[in-house]
Amino acid sequence: MKKLFIILSIAALLYACSGGGDNQNTSGSDSQTGDLFKEGKPDAEDEAKGIGKFTDVEISPTLDVKMAETGKGIYDLKCNACHKLTKEKLVGPGWSGVTTRRKVEWILNFTTNPDEMLNKDPAAQALLEECLVRMPNQGLSDDDARHVYEFMRQNDGVK
């Protein structure tokens, strides 16, 4: 027993020496510790841009119909399982009005970088608290996300 204790304590010491660093991300996991959650507002208009590569995106005031069409194809394949085009919540929130609620950067960051957003972004975490299913990473490319955003704008009445 004594031996075991000493071996264990060495193991613990070794572990302590190995330091932090490259800890693997637990992406896709449903389990998150509670204290990670910060106050966020799921519905209110939000100026936050989220976390990801999109920091400053220029959007034309008029709709690019072709982009929106491509975006609808992606929506049908990868998004509509959980998001309706109305305000009604299915698994995730309905998309109606989303482009006025959120900054374009936030939407592009959330759709391309959902795991980090769900781990760190207050608004994304508030949505998770409400929906209880982590938005899956659906493997959208930057272009895919931009096209889907154009479709969201069309859905919100942009001409």
Partner 1 sequence: MKKKMIYVSMLALSVSALLYSCKPKGPSQAVTGDAAAKTYVAPGKYDAFYDFVSGGFSGQMAVYGLPSGRLLRVIPVFSVDPEKGYGYSDETKPMLNTSHGFVPWGDLHHIALSQTDGLHDGRWVFGNENNTPRIGRVDLKTFRTAEIIEIPNSGGNHSSPFITENSEYVVAGTRFSIPMDNTNGDVPINTYKKNFRGTVSFISVAPEDGRMKIAFQILLPGVNFDLARAGKGKSHGWFFFSCYNSERANTLLEVNASQRDKDFVMAVNWKKAEEYLKAGKGEKRSVAYAHNVYNESTHSATSTIEKEVTVLDPKDCPDMVYFMPCPKSPHGCDTDPTGEYIVGSGKLAAMIPVFSFTKIQAAITAKNFDGEYEGIPVLKYDAVLHGEVKKPGLGPLHTEFDADGNAYTSFFVSSEVVKWRLSDLQVVDRVPTYYSIGHLSVPGGPTKKPWGKYMIAYNKITKDRYLPTGPELAQSAQLYDISGEKMKLILDFPTIGEPHYAEAIPAELLTKNSTKFYRIEENKHPYVSMGEKEAKVERKGNEVHVNMTCIRSHFVPDNIEGVKMGDVVYFHVTNLEQDWDIPHGFAVKGANNAELLIMPGETQTLVWKPDRTGVFPFYCTDFCSALHQEMQGYIRVSVAGSSVPITFSTGTNQPKETE
Contacting positions for partner 1 (CB under 8 A): 3, 6-7, 9-11, 13-15, 17-18, 23-24, 27-28, 30, 76-78, 80-82, 90-91, 132-134, 136-139
Torsion of CA 81, 60, 156, 98, to 10 degrees: 60
- Relative orientation angle of helices 65-74 and 142-155, to the nearest 10 degrees: 110
CB of 59 to partner 1, least distance (A): 25
State which residue, 59 or 73, has the beta carbon closest to partner 1.
73
State which residue, 57 or 131, has the beta carbon closest to partner 1.
131
Q: Considering only CA atoms, which of 112, 97, 111 is closest in space to residue 158?
A: 97
CB of 81 to partner 1, least distance (A): 4
How far apart CA 147 and CA 151 sit, in angstroms, is 6
State which residue, 9 or 100, has the beta carbon closest to partner 1.
9
